[in-house]
Amino acid sequence: MTEETKPTPETSSEKASPQKPAAKAKKAKPPKLEDKPFTEFIEQHFHPSLQEALVAEGLEDIKVKFVKQKIAIQGFDSNQECWQVVGNWQKDSRQFNLYFLDEDISGQKAFSCATDGNESSTLESFMIDEKRITLDLLVLYTIQRLNCQKWLFGN
C-alpha cells in the first residue's frame, strides 16, 4: 500500500497562492519630436508640416527653405548668422523669415516679412509667451502671423 501524505500548511499555502508574474521591462519611449536635435526637428518635421499647412491655406507656389544666414533687416548691421525658415511666394513678391536666434526651438525667435523683393524693415519677437513649444504651435503661430498680414487667401 502506498502511503498517503497530508498537505502541510507550508505546501498548501504555496499551492493556493499563485506566483506573481515577473515584472515586465518598461519599453523606452521614443523622444518627443520637440526633443530631437534642432536641425533634425526643423528639417524633418517643422519644414514639411509648415509647407503642407501653407499649401492647405491656398499658397500653391510657396517655397520654404531652411538656411543659416545673416539677418537682413534695413538698418540692422550684424555679422551674426542664425538659422532661418524662409518662405517665398507670388513669384517672390512676398517673403517671411522666421529666425531661431538661439538654435533652439524653445529659445528666442523672431519674425519679419517683406514684399516686392525689398528687405524687411521690422524684426518682431515671435512666440515669446509660450513655455512649451510644440510642432503644432510653431505651425499655428506662423500661419496666424501670416494671416495677420492679410497675406492668406482666406482674408
> pLDDT tens digits, residue range 65-90?
999 999 888 777 777 899 999 999 98
In a domain, 5, yes or no: no
Q: Does residue 41 fall inside a structural domain?
A: yes
Q: What's the pLDDT at 155? A: 52
Pairing relationship of beta strands 94-100 and 63-70 according to DSSP bridges: unpaired
The answer to whether residue 100 sits within a structural domain is: yes
**Which residues form the domain of 91?**
35-148
Q: Establish if 89 belongs to a structural domain.
A: yes
Say if 43 falls within a structural domain. yes
* Domains: count for the chain: 1
Residue 4 lies in a domain: no
Q: What is the pTM of this model?
A: 0.75
Domain for residue 69, yes or no?
yes
> Is position 67 within any domain?
yes
Considering only CA atoms, which of 144, 147, 154, 140 is closest in space to residue 50? Answer: 140
The Cα–Cα gap between 148 and 126 comes to 13
* φ/ψ of residue 53, rounded to 5: -65, -40
β partners of residue 41: none
